[in-house]
């Protein structure tokens, strides 16, 4: 009976993985961590045991990423002393290359992580940091839950001793923190399931009719922060994880925010939304002319981000949030506003590319 239970359970996990993203429930995570031995305590992964990382009670190498790079770094990144200890281990994923990219988590800022820290940070002068140990616990992590054993901040904004979901790890530093850069928005608020729209990271989405979703994704699908943020490497060496990327904002694929770019790219969105559907105007009937522009009338193309936020909107449906860098108030009503008037029907009050929308309306 028990064996059948485990088999059915594994099949279930397999199905969720095949169907887009693998997001385990709290119960599944409990089951996984109870039945798997932590990766770094398995002999075949780490024949040196505790001693690989510890000499007595202190751990070797204050810069923990150097210690981790002994197995997760390219040759030149490995510490000599530790390298001698790098006995024959099974292959391990190389992450150091992603941390050398232009956009990355600043793991090279050292000595700022404390074993016990409380988030969100309330002191605006506290230096920002992000080390391996903020997101991973080498004593506890397992392949299915690489962040198992670290602290978090829940969808309610409160500190958690033990994060279950990946986003809870991210909310530690990208939520209400008083020391985050001014341009960053509070992700706990952006992903609040009470919002009229959001990408389904914390809870399943609210829009049950999206013509653009690729096969395998439905309105019930959930995605993760790391579905969009992580390494841009495309080859077999690609290592998952929100480590570093050559794309701005540590994005897995290119995404142009700036207007009037010679060759704008929206590959990120097209990983999950069919390009033919978006440019075929299957929902918003003026997608194509906005995105590509209209040469004959000398209209330039516009980025998705001029109209959409990638995370969630506290105000609008369809992730509509106009980018204030390019969109201003209309001259007649003095408003920047989107009004949804039913499926594929709405009005916009704004001024953009010097075109007044006072309002301009659409319907299919
Ligand atoms: C892959 C490297 C690695 C291995 C293997 C490892 N540790 Fe650790 N350990 C660390 C690091 C890094 C820290 C610091 C954690 C922090 O500051 O968040 C640590 C902290 C600790 C601490 C103090 C904090 C705590 O978690 O209680 C103890 C005790 C400890 N380790 C014991 C052990 C024992 C016992 C083993 C073997 C069963 C072991 N470690 C194996 C890397 C390792
Ligand atoms: C003795 C070699 C060794 C050291 C040192 C080491 N790792 Fe690993 N680690 C492995 C192996 C082997 C795996 C399994 C294959 C893989 O995913 O890379 C692994 C897997 C992982 C994973 C994937 C999740 C999991 O648990 O399977 C994470 C995250 C990770 N290591 C983080 C760290 C961090 C952080 C450090 C430094 C504190 C560290 N490792 C130090 C060998 C090591
Ligand atoms: C311990 C703190 C910490 C945690 C946990 C953390 N981050 Fe960060 N993150 C930072 C710091 C520090 C930076 C550098 C810029 C800054 O200060 O925000 C950064 C930068 C970023 C950036 C680039 C922002 C930009 O403006 O270029 C993204 C995207 C990001 N983090 C996403 C995530 C995601 C996704 C997670 C969860 C998997 C996460 N972070 C977890 C501290 C953290
Ligand atoms: C659907 C893709 C997608 C998902 C899912 C996603 N992001 Fe982003 N994120 C982006 C894009 C695109 C940008 C940059 C463009 C922008 O801000 O308009 C960005 C920007 C950011 C930034 C820097 C700017 C800012 O607004 O603060 C941070 C930090 C960040 N994301 C963290 C997160 C965290 C944490 C999560 C999960 C809770 C997450 N993201 C989920 C696509 C995504
Ligand atoms: C990893 C997959 C993934 C990526 C990448 C992605 N999306 Fe989505 N998106 C989804 C899913 C799943 C939904 C369905 C949510 C729902 O049913 O409400 C969705 C919904 C939406 C919606 C409708 C939300 C609503 O409530 O009506 C918009 C608009 C949208 N995405 C725009 C974008 C843009 C713009 C990008 C690029 C920055 C992007 N998406 C990237 C998976 C993705
Ligand atoms: C800001 C949070 C963050 C930091 C800092 C971070 N990681 Fe990760 N890492 C992640 C996330 C999230 C994943 C899992 C992504 C997924 O499941 O797709 C991951 C995955 C991994 C994996 C598994 C890769 C794979 O393809 O299986 C390894 C190994 C790893 N991290 C090692 C490290 C090491 C070593 C450091 C420090 C040098 C580090 N990470 C720093 C968030 C982080
Ligand atoms: C000029 C503003 C504007 C731009 C630019 C824009 N959108 Fe939209 N988009 C909208 C509006 C308005 C809706 C809501 C349509 C409705 O009422 O249902 C929408 C709806 C959507 C939807 C949900 C319905 C569907 O088609 O599945 C997705 C996904 C989407 N847009 C993706 C994108 C992507 C990707 C880009 C960039 C390549 C983009 N949009 C550029 C205004 C815009």
Q: Which residues pair with 356 in a beta bridge?
A: 351
Q: Which of 251, 318, 341, 343 for a ligand 7 pocket mutation test, highest count of atoms within 8 Å of Cβ? A: 318
Residue 315 is predicted with a pLDDT of 97
DSSP 330: -
Residue 158, C-beta contacts closer than 8 angstroms, at least 6 positions apart: none
Residue 295 is predicted with a pLDDT of 87
Residue pair 147/166 in contact by the 8 Å Cβ criterion: yes
CB under 6 Å to ligand 5: residues? 197, 199-200, 205-207, 210, 217, 219, 221, 223, 227-228, 255, 268-269, 271-273, 304, 308, 310, 317-319
352 close to ligand 3 (CB < 6 Angstrom): no
Protein residue closest via CA to atom 42 of ligand 1: 53
Residue 306: count of CB within 10 angstroms of its CB: 21
DSSP 78: S
If you measure from the C-alpha of residue 92 to the centroid of ligand 5, how many angstroms do you get, rounded to a whole number? Answer: 33
- What is the C-alpha to C-alpha distance for residues 278 and 274, in angstroms, rounded to an integer? 6
Q: Locate tokens 């439905």: which residue?
A: 218
| Residue segments in the chain with a per-residue pLDDT below the cut of 50 | 1-2, 5, 8-9, 11-20
- 215 CB-side CA count, 13 A: 0
Residue 23 is predicted with a pLDDT of 83
Residue 82 is predicted with a pLDDT of 60
Q: In the chain, what's the furthest Cα-to-Cα distance?
A: 74
50 close to ligand 1 (CB < 6 Angstrom): yes
Q: Which of 198, 254, 287, 311 for a ligand 7 pocket mutation test, highest count of atoms within 8 Å of Cβ? A: 287
Q: Which residues pair with 59 in a beta bridge?
A: 54
The runs of H, that is alpha helices, within the chain are 2-18, 26-35, 64-72, 80-85, 132-135, 166-174, 187-190, 225-228, 267-270, 275-279, 287-292, 304-307
Q: What is the model's pTM?
A: 0.95
Q: Which of 200, 247, 270, 273 for a ligand 5 pocket mutation test, highest count of atoms within 8 Å of Cβ? A: 273
If you measure from the C-alpha of residue 220 to the centroid of ligand 7, how many angstroms do you get, rounded to a whole number? Answer: 19
- What is the C-alpha to C-alpha distance for residues 250 and 245, in angstroms, rounded to an integer? 5
Residue 61: count of CB within 10 angstroms of its CB: 17
DSSP 250: G
């Amino acid at each position: 009976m028990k064996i059948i239970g485990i088999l059915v359970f594994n099949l279930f996990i397999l199905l969720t993985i095949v169907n887009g993203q693998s997001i385990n429930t709290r119960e599944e995570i409990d089951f996984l961590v109870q039945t798997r031995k932590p990766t770094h305590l398995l002999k075949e992964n780490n024949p040196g045991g505790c001693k690989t990382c510890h000499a007595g009670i202190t751990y070797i190498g204050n810069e923990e990423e150097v210690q981790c790079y002994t197995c997760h770094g390219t040759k030149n990144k490995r510490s000599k002393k530790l390298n001698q200890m790098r006995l024959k281990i099974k292959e391990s994923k190389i992450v150091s290359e992603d941390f050398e990219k232009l956009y990355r988590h600043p793991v090279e800022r050292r000595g700022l992580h404390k074993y016990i820290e409380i988030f969100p940070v309330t002191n605006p002068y506290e230096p920002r940091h992000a080390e391996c140990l903020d997101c991973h616990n080498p004593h506890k992590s397992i392949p299915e839950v690489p962040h198992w054993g670290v602290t978090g901040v829940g969808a309610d904004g409160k500190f958690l001793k033990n994060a279950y979901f990946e986003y809870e790890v991210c909310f530690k530093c990208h939520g209400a923190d008083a020391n985050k850069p001014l341009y960053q928005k509070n992700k706990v608020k952006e992903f609040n399931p009470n919002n009229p729209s959001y990408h389904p990271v914390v809870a399943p989405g609210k829009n049950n009719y999206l013509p653009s979703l690729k096969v395998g994704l439905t309105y019930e699908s959930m995605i993760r922060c790391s579905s969009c943020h992580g390494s841009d490497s495309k080859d077999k060496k690609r290592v998952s994880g929100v480590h570093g990327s050559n794309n701005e904002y540590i994005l897995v694929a290119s995404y142009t925010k700036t207007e009037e770019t010679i060759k704008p790219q929206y590959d990120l969105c097209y990983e999950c939304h069919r390009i033919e559907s978006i440019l075929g105007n299957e929902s918003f009937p003026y997608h194509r002319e906005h995105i590509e522009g209209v040469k004959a009338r000398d209209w330039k193309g516009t980025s998705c981000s001029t109209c959409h936020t990638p995370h969630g909107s506290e105000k609008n449906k369809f992730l509509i949030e106009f980018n204030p860098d390019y969109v201003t108030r209309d001259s007649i009503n003095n408003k920047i506003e989107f009004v949804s008037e039913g499926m594929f029907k709405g009005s916009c009050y704004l001024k953009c590319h010097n075109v007044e929308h006072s309002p301009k309306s659409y319907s299919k």
